Amino acid sequence: MVKSERPGSTEDAPAGYEGVWRFTAPAADVSVPQARHAVRDLLNRQGVPAQDELVQGLLLIVSELVTNAVRHAALLSPILAVEVAIGTEWIRVSVEDNHPYRPKALERDYAQTGGRGLLLVREITVEAGGVCDIEHTASGGKIIWVALPLAGPSLTSPPSAPSAL
């Protein structure tokens, strides 16, 4: 896992847990639990002050986003990237692949046995007071990201766009 620090003055010294971490993984089933464990271990190692409920929701989101990349993008994107950005008030996790298809969250259909991962991601995000979106990359792929507040739902503005999944 590679860590990159944000430049800042000594006046704006970040909290000890702040930073941005990015790692890549093969678009294979084994990457789902590996990504989840890597994010959990990162949060623990950095001492991020997040409640257990938030962490569990975030880990489920990571599992769903990586699973989607593995199931739907592997043919055009044999490698995926996971990025975790931690600020004083927000955690942002994103999964990037090189497949151009932009998925949409399906509506509730209890007869379906699958295909509800993004709906679950959206529901967890909204309940936590966060935001999620999908962006295209310069190379034609996509980044699906979720930002959750560390302190739970609040009136604090998130680090970008409204929930679009």
Q: Is the pLDDT of residue 157 over 80?
A: no
Task: Give the torsion through C-alpha atoms of 148, 151, 154, 157, to 10 deg.
Answer: -50
Residue 112 · residue 122 · CB < 8 Å: no
pLDDT digits (tens, 9 = 90+) for 66-93: 999 999 999 899 999 999 999 999 999 9
Residue 146 · residue 125 · CB < 8 Å: yes
Residue 67 · residue 32 · CB < 8 Å: yes
Mean pLDDT for 18-22 is 96
What domains, with CATH codes, occur in the chain?
A: 17-149 (3.30.565.10)
pLDDT for 116: 76
Mean pLDDT for 122-130 is 95
pLDDT for 5: 41
Mean pLDDT for 124-141 is 94
* Structure-model confidence comparison of residues 117 and 44, the more confident one: 44
DSSP E strand boundaries for 46-150: 79-86, 90-97, 131-136, 142-149
Query: In terms of Cα–Cα distance, which of 94, 70, 79, 125 is closest to 21?
Result: 94
Residue 70 · residue 29 · CB < 8 Å: yes
pLDDT for 18: 94
Residue 19 · residue 86 · CB < 8 Å: yes
Query: Which residue type occupies 32?
Result: V
